[in-house]
Amino acid sequence: MSVNIKEKVWYLANFEAFEKKLNGGAQTPLHRLRKAALQRVKKNGFPSIREEEWRFTNVSSIESMNFKPVDEKEQEEIGRNTLQEYLFEDLTPNRLVFVNGRFSSQLSSLSGLAQNIKFENLALELKNNPDVLLPYLAKQADYKKHAFTALNTAFLSEGAFIYIPNNIIVDEPLYILYISRDGGESFVTHPRNLYVVGSNAQVKIIESYVGFGEEKYFTNPVSEIILNENAIVDHYKIQQENKSAYHIGVTQVHLKKDSNYRSNSFSFGSVLARNDINTVLDGEGAECTLNGLYMANGKQHVDNHTLIDHAKPRCNSHELYKGILDDRARAVFSGKIYVRPDAQKTDAIQSNQNLLLSEDAIVDTKPQLEIFADDVRCTHGGTVGQLDDEGVFYLRSRGISKHYARNIMIQAFAGQVTHKIKLEGLREKVEGLVFSRLRDGHLSDK
Amino acid sequence: MLEIKNLHASVEGTEILKGIDLKVNAGEVHAIMGPNGSGKSTLAHVLAGREEYKVTKGSVIYEGKDLLAMSPEDRAREGVFLAFQYPVEIPGVNSAYFLRTALNAVRQYNGLDDISAFEFLKLAREKMKLVDMDESFLKRSVNEGFSGGEKKRNEILQMAFLEPKLAILDETDSGLDIDALKIVAHGVNQLRNENNAVIAVTHYQRLLNYIVPDYVHVLYKGRIVKSGGKELALELEEQGYDSIKNDADKKVNVPGLTGVK
Ligand SMILES: Nc1ncnc2c1ncn2[C@@H]1O[C@H](COP(=O)(O)OP(=O)(O)O)[C@@H](O)[C@H]1O
Ligand SMILES: [Mg+2]
């Protein structure tokens, strides 16, 4: 096969176009960061399957696919009814909506948030108020360590910025919706989120990725989350990209003393999805809970990588990831728990459970405990199994059809994760998403 | 109502039932007794349609229909109910949801409308009283973390909801203390009438003091080796299974003998 040498790798070509549009912004320190990140990508390329962390997920096709910037043609408006489908009852009066990576003030809504809370487009804040966010931006997610963080950082511009001052408890969840649709042939977006939560502050954040239509695109988000002392963050990520899309996202969390981060990650869409969550428990008494549910069928590939870094003593972590796979789908779970030498009294529990509905589905589940302290309690378990025949028979013996019995059993399996969603409207919505995927005791494409 | 003829069944290639004949009429209670491992639960599961048990010979006619040709769910909808010896725990499936789904599945099959949430709750309260169960039970996952007695009562509760024509109770009495046994027996007796029948599989004659059988059959090594009236249960209680076992083991070699009718 001959290679067209005139054609640049797509991200380099895209960067030139991106730089042109920045005008004066190309002189800032931030832009130097972007360029450094780009250099990293240019030099190292995308990770190959020879790298341990990418052993089961081949991203070489993404590199060779020629993704382009979003085609900024006039778009048909997204109607209220369409939007309504992706809102959660009364839970989302405060929302930032992005269409193909661009902030939409028309679809967004901010009602009744206290003045001192910041919830807005990162690009706008970078322009008007850089001093507030620059001390935090790109300080957690290290582009030197992760190719897709580097790629995102090179194009860092729009996304959600949340800043909760000390002692503020935000009751209403903050909702961030990324919609991808009709953005031209093979378009790519790089959403960048930064959430800074003050001491004793509490907030619930819902991050949702939705794809309309069937065209191929690539979403490359990075979220950085900083919890100051005694802060509490409930973070929900719902990935519903379309079935041709690529989604490779990184969430980087930094926890200070006595803070508590609870993540619920739902991965439903995409032909290839990869979610990395890295948490650093960097203060005594910090706690993190990572729950996840993934469902994949057809040729979907879903990869969840989590890293919990117990850097200080007396921190707890709890992790439960469950997966449901059908057809030829493939899932990867890698859960690393790292306990540093002085992180005594660490308490870490991890579990990954997989339900296979077809003989052709594949799971690679890999717990990795690296423990350098002696007074710790770490447990992990991984299971891969089929639907419980006895349970199905029990339901059938009460008059429930075979297909429905299987659906009930699958839902129950997922329920152990969905039940952990504390926001009722959201829980119902996510349970509805699970249910809508079930067809005759198997997963369907909707 | 039910006629089993020369029923043979095997599991994983081993023959467990070796020619069962049994006839049950509406209004009757049949007790099936026998030592452990004789095939009582296998018979119960075959009647309920468990696919792991392969019927290799014989027939089962239920209400004039070929029972063995029906799916487990259709058997339930036609009025066959098995109270499991070991009820299955189903984490994550709420008991109220389960009961309502089952009830509606059976109602739909019989051309009835779904029961409303309100009607369901009313019915549930009434039925739960029958087996002395607390309303909080409806919120729990099916059988999950239930005590042995709770599981057995839950079986009878399901039976009370579905109002079967033929109830097969598989050792519903084992592991129950006398109070729980009385509750379970009371539940069963409340549901009895001249149109339905009960097959009570049991190990002990104790249950039969409360659910009085019309016939008692002894199952041993996959065959019914002795049948009689309720006095047979008392006899067994006093003498144990040894003499029956001995007799049966002698007779097994006699060609043509496939159990006593
Ligand atoms: N699923 C199974 N797989 C293999 N053997 C079985 C299975 N179920 C029952 N058996 C065997 O069949 C025989 C009868 O068992 P069962 O019907 O449970 O007896 P009972 O209920 O009278 O105690 C026993 O020897 C038992 O080990
Ligand atoms: Mg038994």
Shortest Cα distance, chain A CAs vs residue B88, angstroms: 6
pLDDT string in tens for chain B (261-residue length): 999 999 999 999 999 999 999 999 999 999 999 989 999 999 999 999 999 999 999 999 999 999 999 999 999 999 999 999 999 999 989 999 999 999 999 999 999 999 999 999 999 999 999 888 888 999 999 999 999 889 999 999 999 999 999 999 999 988 888 888 888 898 889 888 899 999 999 888 888 889 999 999 999 999 999 899 988 888 888 888 887 888 877 765 544 444 443
Chain A residues within 8 A of B158 when measuring between CB atoms: 398
A341-365 per-residue burial string, b: 16 or more CB within 10 A, e: under 16: eebebbebbbbbbbbbbeeebbbbb
| Mean pLDDT within A241-267 | 97
For A283, other C-beta atoms within 10 Å of its C-beta total 21
**Rounded Cα gap, residues B196 and B163, in angstroms:** 9
Instruction: Answer whether A399 sits within 8 Å of B90, measured CB to CB.
Output: no
Residue A186 makes CB contacts below 8 A (sequence gap 6+) with A65, A66, A67, A68, A215, A216, A217, A218
Q: Residue A292's closest CA among A255, A228, A249?
A: A249
A76-104 pLDDT per residue, tens: 778 777 888 888 766 678 999 999 999 99
Query: How many angstroms separate the alpha carbon of residue B42 from the centre of ligand 1?
Result: 6
For A388, other C-beta atoms within 10 Å of its C-beta total 17
| B41, B46, B174: residue to mutate for ligand 1 pocket, most atoms within 8 A of CB | B41
Three-state DSSP class for residue A341: coil
Instruction: Answer whether B76 sits within 8 Å of A402, measured CB to CB.
Output: no
Q: Give the Cα-Cα-Cα angle A398, A403, A409 (nearest 5 degrees).
A: 75
Instruction: Answer whether B101 sits within 8 Å of A390, measured CB to CB.
Output: no
| B16, B52, B241: residue to mutate for ligand 1 pocket, most atoms within 8 A of CB | B16
Please give the single-letter amino acid code of residue B55: V
Q: What is the residue-wise DSSP string for B68-101?
A: GGS-HHHHHHTTEEEE-SSPPPEEEEEHHHHHHH
Question: Which amino acids bring their CB within 6 angstroms of ligand 1?
Answer: B 11-12, 16, 34, 36-42, 52
B35-84 pLDDT per residue, tens: 899 999 999 999 999 999 999 999 999 999 999 999 999 999 999 999 99
Q: What is the ipTM, given to two decimal places?
A: 0.94
Domain residues of chain A, as ranges?
Answer: 5-283
Residues facing A380 on adjacent strands: A350
Give the pairing of strands A102-109 and A95-99. Answer: antiparallel
* Residue A25 forms contact with B (CB below 8 Å): no
| Cβ-nearest to A399 among B52, B76, B87 | B76
- Contact, B92 vs A413, CB < 8 A? yes
**Rounded Cα gap, residues A162 and B138, in angstroms:** 42
| pTM, to two decimals | 0.90
Domains of chain B, each with CATH number or no CATH: 2-252 (3.40.50.300)
Chain A residues within 8 A of B101 when measuring between CB atoms: 400, 404, 408
Length of chain A measured in residues? 446
For B99, other C-beta atoms within 10 Å of its C-beta total 25
**Rounded Cα gap, residues B69 and B90, in angstroms:** 27
Report the greatest alpha carbon distance in chain A. Answer: 72
Residue A414 makes CB contacts below 8 A (sequence gap 6+) with A293, A295, A322, A324, A431, A434
Residue B254 makes CB contacts below 8 A (sequence gap 6+) with none
| Cβ-nearest to B88 among A391, A399, A413 | A391
Three-state DSSP class for residue A155: coil
pLDDT at site B257: 47
pLDDT at site A265: 98
Residue B248 makes CB contacts below 8 A (sequence gap 6+) with B220, B221, B223, B225, B226
Residue A7 makes CB contacts below 8 A (sequence gap 6+) with A13, A66
